[in-house]
Copies of this chain bind each other. A is one copy, B any other.
């Protein structure tokens, strides 16, 4: 048995339980938006961001009651971003994690509202009393999430991605796009653990450096899997960047150099964990998993 795989499965289960509790099925006609929120947030997925939150918080012995709520909030944000990105006016995707996307299963209006509802609920969870006894911590969790995912973060990254259809990006521009579009929420996941754990300045710094390298490695492998992966195994349409003529790390560097780069970044990420000694093992295992994964 691979103990990292067990740990990842356990955290996926905890995250699902938390999401199930935090998004209760409703009654009345508004139940439709709650169904669509549950459909999108409880659709499986690797739960890498929840693992980052919980493993980072574990470094500082934060109670799991706190870190599981924050992990669920981060996963809600991830689900909202997928629901909106999949819309016909955006990337127009029909399939996600092997199932119809939210607007295909429900309709476009419901998908827009489900995304809005998930984003809003994430802030409700972070700011809620049960997340942490100190208002200071709850406010910082909400503030840093908003910074990570707004027009200067994830939302801006998706805008860049849409605009990129019009002109060729170079490696510098692709890196910036990915830092905003996927890197910012990955970084926040680690930062949230540090906020909950009232980490010291150098600890925050090392965790941020880890998240930075991990986020880029994750994206490079994502691009590789989009080229090399199998749609059935991936549970989503593959080869779409190439079809859209979009520059990616792989189209710019070639698959071999791209994979080499991802491995270097994962090694670097692991080095940043040295100050945490064996407590950093789970985050280190995750960095290895990210570059080895097949989907």
Contact = CB atoms under 8 A, between A and B. Distances in A.
Nearest to A81: B116
A140 B150 contact: no
A221 interface: no
A138 interface: yes
B33 A151 contact: yes
A183 to B, nearest CB: 14
Interface string A34-47: 10010000000000
Interface stretch (A129-137, A203-211, A258-266, A268-276): A129-137
A121 interface: yes
B156 A33 contact: yes
A162 interface: yes
A139 B127 contact: yes
Contacts of A34: 151
A180 B90 contact: no
A155 B116 contact: yes
Contacts of A30: 151-152, 156-157, 159-160, 180
A156 to B, nearest CB: 4
A112 interface: yes
Given A135-B135, A138-B135, A151-B30, A158 B121 contact: no
Contacts of A135: 134-140
A252 interface: no
6 contacts: A30-B151, A90-B112, A116-B119, A120-B149, A121-B151, A135-B138
